[in-house]
Structure 1
Amino acid sequence: MNYIGKILPVDGYYVQLIDNTLPIDYEKSLTHLYQPLIGMQAVMLYQTLLHEIELQSSAQTHHTLMSYLSIPLDEIYEARLKLEGIGLLKTLEKNTEHQTVYVYSLIRPFSPKEFFQDAMLTQLLFHHIGKQKFDMLKSHYADEKYIEGTKDITASFHDVFDTFKPTVNHVQPAPRQQEVHGPNIETIDFSWMEQMLKQRMIPAREVLNEENRRIITQMMTLYDLASHEIEKSVLWALTDENRLDVQEFQEACHDLFKQKQSQQPIHLVEKSNTGQSSEQIDQKKPKTKEEQLIYELENISPKQLLEDLSSGNHASDQDLKVIREVMTTQGLPSPVMNVLIHYVLLQSNMKLSKAYLEKIASHWSRANLKTAKEAMVFAKKEKDRYRKTNSKQGNNSYYNKARSNEVVPEWFKERKTKKTKEVNPPNQQDLEKEKEEIAALLRQYSSSTKNNHLQG
């Protein structure tokens, strides 16, 4: 994502702390709990802004932050967005005739104990650092410590106090506003769930209390679940007393996510279109066949690619295992792996040869390829180099294939449609057939992508 120009070095800023008190152990939270989620630069920016409050007498320019942090301004802007999204910063903007000034309102971080009471942050941390490290941190910061041999005899609220049932005309107190700290996510309309619970004679008010609404909203956002999937998880997690078991609900949401996205880990990733105008997005839309192909290979998963090339059939477990092993061993990004899969399939009569895959993967891994476009350009250059070097020697290199004049990369459109004994060059009719195959493949991608959007 390109953030250059979002803020300028001469733009001014003030800093304020929304809540004047910070948890005593807030630095432990920032270091051990928030940093795995938002990264070191975002935590550095937060602490820098926090300690500038007592020093500021007038608006500072962003030159100051660049000097403090020793990082370019686009990275500062990226770190700011992460703080805003995770719920640690609120930004206000004021445009004057001479300067743009920002007000950075810092929101206090959770204490370690409060952090582990937030369902969404807890789940995110678990997926980022793994079970062993998560259990160690949770045990250290959140779990209650009891002396061996003792029992808890603390009186409960109902042991001490009596309550009364309000009448119909009783005025309900105004609902407490949602706390400003925590992940900054949009609230959802629960009317559909209230109706569902009432139809099943389940007390909606008790199930959808304020805390449960917050947790349901977080899990819906975290796992990208549809309304019917959230309903299913809620019903699964209800106890015999019609109370929502939060732990059971979180596990049900996670299980539904795994069923839908078995190949995708839960991690915080930046949205690709953050801060872009519609004109900027339109300019980046693929126009040529080659750009369309690159776009698809950049945005599709290896599993979906195999299914698309199999006319929508499920990818075999064996093929997925081979791809997973190669990606893990060679450390290839998903877009590069897509190019490699496509290349090997088209060169091997749609057979996924593990040996062939590993041979080229090791080469591409050493070249440190990151994008589908880089992989396609690299493959084409290597083919040309091997062809020129070995044409006279007749070396049968894995890059040495016949040349074509199509705009789409040569390796992408070549297919072994002829018998191995044929040595004549392709005629015009064969080239036209290849063009039709490429066009059909692109239509297949487009149709698959549209169907995925509709299903989502």
Structure 2
Amino acid sequence: MFATSDPKHLYYVANKITLFPENEKILIKLYQPLVGAVAIALYQTLINDYDPYGIVSDAKGIYSLQEQLDCSLKDMFHSLHKLEAVGLVQTFLADNVFNNIIVFKLLQVPSADKFFATPLLASLLKEKVGSPTFHDLSHAFAKEAKLREKPIKNARDVSANFFDVFRLPGDEAINPSNEVVEAAQENKAPEVETAEINAQDPIDWDLIKDQYNVYQIPAQEVEIKKNQIRGLIQTYNLSEQEFVDETVPCLHGTHKLNMHEISNTIAENYKRLHTRENIQKQIEEGKKRAIATIKGLDANDRKLLLEANENSPSEFLYKLKTKKGGIVAPGENYIINQLHTQYGLPEDLINILIHTCLTYDTVVTSNRAYRIANDWLQGGISTGVQALEYVKKRKADILKKKNRQSYRQNKRVEKGTDWSKKKAKNEGMSTEQLKDIFKDLKNK
């Protein structure tokens, strides 16, 4: 299987085939559900790209195919691989002075009866289109094939043969002349091959059988479980030796392969491996961004970082617990062991995590440790220095928030008068009061 990311990689088509209407119908109805519309378009484009008079120097870059199909190189090669798998195209790499040239050999679309007589193709079509549509297609093509020729019943062949009609001089019929032999050689043309699925099995079953023979697993057991083994190898992209090595813990001297246990074991190992790989990737990326020093680093911080870098997690936990007057519980060692061996966290980071956990509680609990570890990893923290800086910053933010809330609670706020809620008082004046007011005005 070949693919390239170079759009200028040269290619040419090696042969010509002709698509008749019945071939196109088979191509669209039976092959397109298997390989997709882009693959069918690629196949037809290659048919039209054949140039009987072209030479190697006329080869074009595959970007021309990409432009015609209006798709990415990745999608184009994905479609090409599907065409190769069902046998419609063969791809070769021809050595050239400057580079390898891709050569496409096209194969003729087979008849419908040959398609349905190929179990792998028929089964894949059934899976793609569903049973009802599959049966409809089968019945339609079968009916069409029967209509092409009417059966001849109760009849015998009375046709004349060649020698009943023609005569050749001398022994020409037995030993043709040189001219006839040369003409036959001159007009000899390669037959157009019909597409057949490329069913080469890439798995070395003999190697697997030999490896299992050491553990007294008979070859017949491998044959019986062949499809399940193939599925696991392809799903997890394992080599034959890797598959056997993964399954050894599942062999219990019964001369049988417990595929359920094997499947669960491989899945668990795969999950653990990829989890560790992802964490290691995050840690490596975090180290690139790590800050050499922490702003505001005091003597206690320096001492803590020094101890975190000099001690293993078990030693660090023991010393910290001894200083606090406690003991190390068995579960605590298990937790820090898992963080280091299974997930690959560096020791200095685990030590700061232990210190952080013990500031909240007297023991390192699984729930708290994994929650803090997840929080740090999601924040890109991968070293003890970064972890300590993060913890200090978080504590400072919490303290700042608490002080702000305390200030708001203690602050005294004077309330003003809301005159909109104040009602005017309607107080009347006596006659004597009015007389006094007017009297005062006259005197002025």
Normalising by the smaller structure, the TM-score range is 0.3 to 0.5
TM-score w.r.t. length of structure 2: 0.40
User: Rg larger in 1 or in 2?
Assistant: 2
In proportion to residue count, which structure has more helix? 2
